A = this chain, B = another copy of it.
Amino acid sequence: MSFRASLEEVVKSVSGSVACSVMGFDGIAVETVQPDAQSAADLDVGTALIEYGNLLSQLKQAAEGLKTGQVTEISVNTDKLLTIMRMVNNDYYVVLALLPDGNYGKGRYALRLAAPKLAREL
C-alpha cells in the first residue's frame, strides 16, 4: 500500500479529519491528504503543522535526556483544531488534523495503526 493509500485510510476512518500528512523533522511534508480542502485552507493548517513540527523536533531531543522514555505521540489542541502527531521513525512523523468535534480517540488509534505501515514504506 502506498503512502497516500495509508493516509486516505486514516482520514476515511476518522470523522472530522481535515488533513493527514507524513512529514519530515525538517518541516517538509512528504505526502498530504486533505478531504476537506476548504476548511484546511481557512484554518491555514499547513502553517500550523510546520510550527508544531518544529516544536515536536525540539521535544524529541529534550526527551532523550529524560527517564520517561522516547516520545511516541504529541497532541496540540486549540479551540479550532485538534492535531495528533505520531513518530514513524527517527526522521519522519505522521500528523492528523481534526475539527474540534472530530473523533479524537479514533484518530489516536488510527495513527497508532498507520505508523508501522508507513515506517515499512519509508
Contact B70 A78 (CB under 8 A): yes
Chain A 47-79 per-residue mask, 1 if CB under 8 angstroms from chain B, else 0: 110011011001100110011111111111111
Report how many copies the assembly holds.
2
In whole angstroms, what is the CA distance A78 to B73 when docked?
7
Contact A71 B63 (CB under 8 A): no
In whole angstroms, what is the CA distance A54 to B70 when docked?
18
Chain A interface, >50% SS class: mixed
Contact B68 A78 (CB under 8 A): yes
Contact B76 A71 (CB under 8 A): yes
Interface residues of A in 18-62 (CB under 8 A from B): 42-45, 47-48, 51-52, 54-55, 58-59, 62
In whole angstroms, what is the CA distance A81 to B68 when docked?
6
Contact A68 B55 (CB under 8 A): no
Q: At the interface, yes or no: A120 with Cβ under 8 Å from chain B?
A: no
A74 nearest in chain B by CB position: B76
- Give A contacts to B, CB under 8 Å: 42-45, 47-48, 51-52, 54-55, 58-59, 62-63, 66-81, 105
